Structures are given as structure tokens and as C-alpha cells.
Amino acid sequence: MDRRPIDFALVFGPNSTFEGAEGDAVVELAFLMANANGDASPDELEALRSLIKHVSPSANVGTTIEALADTLGGAESIGDRVRAAASNLMRPRARELAYKAVYAIAVYDLETNMEERELEDMVIGALRLDDKRAHELGLETTHALLAKS
């Protein structure tokens, strides 16, 4: 994978619009993945920036990340935030797009760790995805990340 920014339009594919609070929930879940081990890498932050701009082109990325960090800092646990964000994703398509965003953030820096794997499992459960579907979505995301735009 070369180091170009993630094209989330390609990762998400057609029919990837968000309704209401869905976009914010997807961004929060991706933020949580970027910070799963307490230290987001520069690549994870770049991927998160791309996602924020895809979901909300006029958003101030710095302000968005600061607000998410404050929300996480005030939470009882990262699991509480995962469940809260996932509760805003009622449509199956929105839950699948959220998983694709989380997966893209996790693999973009070409490193995974135990905290990321544990968070991924937590996200899969909170999004009510079965393991087979999560695997299929992960493959779709990987193919999109490797595609030449």
C-alpha cells in the first residue's frame, strides 16, 4: 500500500450517505480506533482527517479531534463510547460503513496491536455484525485501499 490519503468514497462505495447523527458516530468510532492504544500514529491521524473531510467537508479537523478527545477523556471507558456511538447507527448500511471506517483506520498504518484487535472485536459486537460479514467488509476495505485511483 502506498502512502496516499484514504479515498473514503472508494472505501465506502455507492449508497454511502449518512443520516442524522450517523456521520458523527462513524467518525467517533474511527477516532477510538486511532487511539485504541492511547497513541494515534501520524498515519492514523491522516486517515482520520480524510474520513472527517469525507463525512463533513466543511468540518474543522482540529476542532473535531479535540472534541472527540474531550468526550473520550470524560468517558468511564472506551467501551462506553463504542456502545454510545454504535447506538446512533440504526441502519444496517450505516453499521457496515462504520466498520469499514474503523477497519481502514486500523490497517492504514500497517501496524496492529492487541488494543486495536480488542477494540475491533468490541466494535463488531456493538455494531451487531457477525464475524463472517465483518471479514467480508474487511476484505472490501482492503481491496479499496489497494486500488489505484
Task: Write b or e for each residue in 25-59: b if 16 or more Cβ atoms lie within 10 A of its Cβ, otherwise e.
Answer: bbbbbbbbbbbbbeebeebbbbbbbbbbebbeeeb
Task: Compute and round to an integer the Cα radius of gyration of the chain.
Answer: 14
Number of H-type helices and E-type strands within the chain: 8, 0
Of the pLDDT bands very low, low, confident and very high (cuts 50, 70, 90), residue 14 is confident
What average pLDDT does the structure give for the chain?
Answer: 92
Q: In the predicted model, what is the mean pLDDT of residues 120-149?
A: 93
Give the homologous superfamily in CATH for domain 20-146. TerB-like (1.10.3680.10)
Residues 133/98, Cβ–Cβ less than 8 Å: no
Rounded to the nearest 10°, the torsion over CA 17, 144, 67, 69 is 150
Residues 100/18, Cβ–Cβ less than 8 Å: no
pLDDT at 40: 87
pLDDT at 148: 61
Q: How many residues does the chain have?
A: 149
Q: In the predicted model, what is the mean pLDDT of residues 102-118?
A: 87
Cα separation, 58 vs 55, whole angstroms = 9
- 3-state SS, 15-67, equals CCCCCCCHHHHHHHHHHHHHCCCCCCCHHHHHHHHHHHHHHCCCCCHHHHHHH
Of the pLDDT bands very low, low, confident and very high (cuts 50, 70, 90), residue 3 is low
Q: In the predicted model, what is the mean pLDDT of residues 16-28?
A: 95
Name every residue whose Cβ is closer than 8 Å to that of residue 128 and which is 6 or more positions away in sequence.
95
| Tens-digit pLDDT profile for residues 67-108 | 999 999 998 999 999 999 999 999 999 999 999 999 999 998
Of the pLDDT bands very low, low, confident and very high (cuts 50, 70, 90), residue 2 is very low
What is the dihedral sign for C-alpha 53, 55, 112, 85?
positive
Q: In the predicted model, what is the mean pLDDT of residues 20-33?
A: 97
Q: Would you kindly state where each structural domain of the chain is located, as residue ranges?
A: 20-146
